Structure formats: structure tokens, C-alpha cells
Chain A
Amino acid sequence: MKREIDFMSKSLFFIVVSLVVVTVSLVSIFVKGFNFGVEFTGGSEILLRFEGKRITESELRGILSGISEEFKTARIVRVSSMGDPADVLKYSVVVPKTYASEEKKSLQEKVESLTGGKLVSFNEITGTAAEEIRKGTWTAIVVSFIAMLFYIAIRFKFIYGVAAIIALVHDVVITLGFFSLFGYEINVAAVAALLTLIGYSINDTIVLCDRIRENAKRYRGKSMVSIVNASINEVLARTINSSLTTFMVVFVLLLFAGTVVKPFAFGMTVGVVVGTYSSLYVVSPIVARWGGR
């Protein structure tokens, strides 16, 4: 037998850590709020037209960022209409900000003189995702939590389900807190990251609970705390390897991926770490304390 690491004796300390991080997250969420992407808030779309001049997305982004801060994370997309001549390039630049009419004028002058293009139109746009995402996603998350609670209650024990849901809420709150603290944009991909993290967290929890269930049957004489501790040790290699491999993928993405993908990679990176942590230090203490025999 390998030497067992004693996870459970430090659980009180980690519960305090969790509570502190959750509190900080909640404070940040409510005080600082989120940096919502343009799909949620709406904003402005500027259409630029270049005749006989080749300019790439990143060149354009560079020039515009010099004019104003918000263009650093702007969405710059090439568009074209039917019947455009071959030497015409058109870009749609979208920022989560609206401008007053005087601002529009000065911006138009600056943009036209610096880029050498023509500002064709200034549109105000609504958030496309706002209606779509808000409509269903929260309901979906809550209903899926309830569904998972029931499944775990049937396959394991009710308290395991409760522990799993507490861990999920813990993970979602902390990840959202990180988004708020670091000012990462919440866009559609970030929502996808949040949903993925739920999957990861529940996976970790189930694997651990499965082992606890098995060991509780096998070692009838032992205390629940030592059973939980033994179970954590037995699945430890799996926990580390599984988390590490996923971490590799999302961390590389965080380092190298471009602007719009960054929030997704950020959410996943935080999520994998928090999800792994929560199965060890949120689920296990609850199961050890109230899991019974």
C-alpha cells in the first residue's frame, strides 16, 4: 500500500478558504459586476469602406486602438455586399458602447483620416444573445441541477446529491467571481465554458462518490471519515491526471488563443481547477460528516 495522504484533517481549513473565496466572488459580482460582451449589451457597429487599399483585421485593430481604448477588444469582421467592386474592402467594427452624435462626428473624422477609409454608416445594434441566452440558460441550469440531484439521490444517496449540487453552485459562483474580478468579457463562449465546467465538476464528484459508495460497502467497520479519506487517495491518480490533461488543453488556449476565445479559455481554466478542488474539499467533508453508513 502507498502511504495515505490525510485529506480530511485539513478539511476545516479548506472550508474556510472556500467560504472566503465564495464571499469575495459574490462581493465582486454584486459590487463590480460583469463586463458583458456586445452580444449581451448591444452597442455600435461601424461600417468602414476601403477603396483600392489592402488592410488586414489586425492592422485596422492597431490603428483604431490608438484612437480609443474600446477598439482593443472590438470585433472586426470583413463583410461584403453583392455587386461590390473587386477593389473594395468593407469591415464591420463592433464595440459594446454607444456614442452621442457629437462623439460620432469626431470619431468619424479621426477614423477616416487615420485609416484612409470611409465610414459608411454608424449603427446601433441590440444584443443578439441577450434574449436567446437569458431566456433559457438559467432555467436550463436550475432544471439540470435538479435532474442531477435526483439521479444521484437514486443511484447513490440523497446527501451525495446535495453535496454535488453545493459543489456545483460553489464552482459556478467562484468562476463567475473570477470573471468579474479580472474583468474578462462574458460572451456566448464564456457561457459555454460555464456549462462545460458544470459537466467537469459533476464528473469529478461522481467518480469520488462512486468510490466512497464502494468502500463503504467493503469496509463496514471503519469510520466514514477514514473511508472518505481512503477513497480520495484511491482515486487521486485519476483526479490529478484527468484534471491535468484538460488543464493543458485549456491553459494553452488561454495563452495563445485570440481575443474572443480568451474568455472561454479563462472560464475553462478556472473551472477545471475549482471543479477538481471542490470534489475534494466541498463534496468529501459533507459526505464524511452526513453521509452516514
Chain B
Amino acid sequence: MKMNQIVFPLVLALAATLATTGCKHTPPKITPINGTSPSNVSDVNNQSTLPNANPINSDANPNSTPGSTPTAGLDEFEGMIKDPAALAANTIHFAFDSAAIKKSEDSNISAVASALSGNASNKLLIEGNCDERGTEEYNRALGERRALAAREALAKRGVSPERIRTISYGKDKPTDPGHDDAAWAKNRRADFVLLHPKP
């Protein structure tokens, strides 16, 4: 009842408005679309070409002063020579969606640890990788967790974690670009790259 009392006059009022404004044609308006766009990214919209990116300068880094951190700064690894062949046979593999080091990888971890203990000036880069299942940024984090788990395992065998740098490629660096179980198993891995001091 109450609803009717409110709504009915409203409908009448609208009907009356429509009766008067009904089929009247609004005169055509010209809407110029010039340099100033209504969008909040107006300048992008109106720039026909965007300037090329400036080169990335590794020295121009005023803001990234590392804080107190358990990982060594990247500059500790600056200019070191990558030797991916030296430890290529010791790549370790992971179960699906897991960063746990399998017991079966013990011998590979030991081999990497002894390669590092043999030469104190060498350092290590661990590259964490994933299969293509899983979302991109999730996998980028998962690859990092795999690399960090390998670093942890090496630390337990006496390698100073300060000598180890990690990088995650997520699913961006498959060793086998296939799309089946065999390819995925190969891609869920951490590669060890020996780093020699620059000559």
C-alpha cells in the first residue's frame, strides 16, 4: 500500500515528463575529439608514437641501497664469468609445485658443494625454473623458492650463502619447450652456474 502511494505518483510524473519531452529530437551536436581527451591517460592517447626507451644503465642506481640482508648484494657478483658447463651434470629436479629438495638429489648437492670448497674465489649462481603449469608470477616466486632451497641445502653442507646468488626464470626458460609430463619434469629444476672471478 505504502509502496503504491510512493511509486504511483512517480510513474505519473515520469509519464507526464515523457508526454512533454516524448519524441522531440535533440539537435545534433558536434563532439570534437582533439588533443585533450576525456580519458585520464590523455597524453598516451594523443601521442601517436611514444619515445624509445632509454638504455638501462647499471650504474644509475641511486635508490637501491641494499638494507641489512641475508643475501649478498648483487655487486658482490659484478663482472664474474659464468661457467654453465662446469656443473651442468648436477642440475636438480623438483616435484610438481614443490620447492623441497628430494633426498635423491643429495649427490648433486654434494658435488656442487665440493666444487665450491675446492676454489674459494669461485661463487655460484642458482637458476630456479618451473614447468608451464601455474600462473606466471606464482611461478616466478616458485622458481625463486627452488633456488633458495638449493642455496639452503648448500649452506648446510658448509658453503657460505654469501657466495651464492639466486635467479628465478619462472616458466620463461624451459629446457624442453614441450607440453607433456616428460617436458614438465625436465623443466622443474635448479641449474647451477659456477662463477669465476673476472680475470
Q: Do A and B bind each other?
A: no
Residues of A within 8 A of B (CB): none
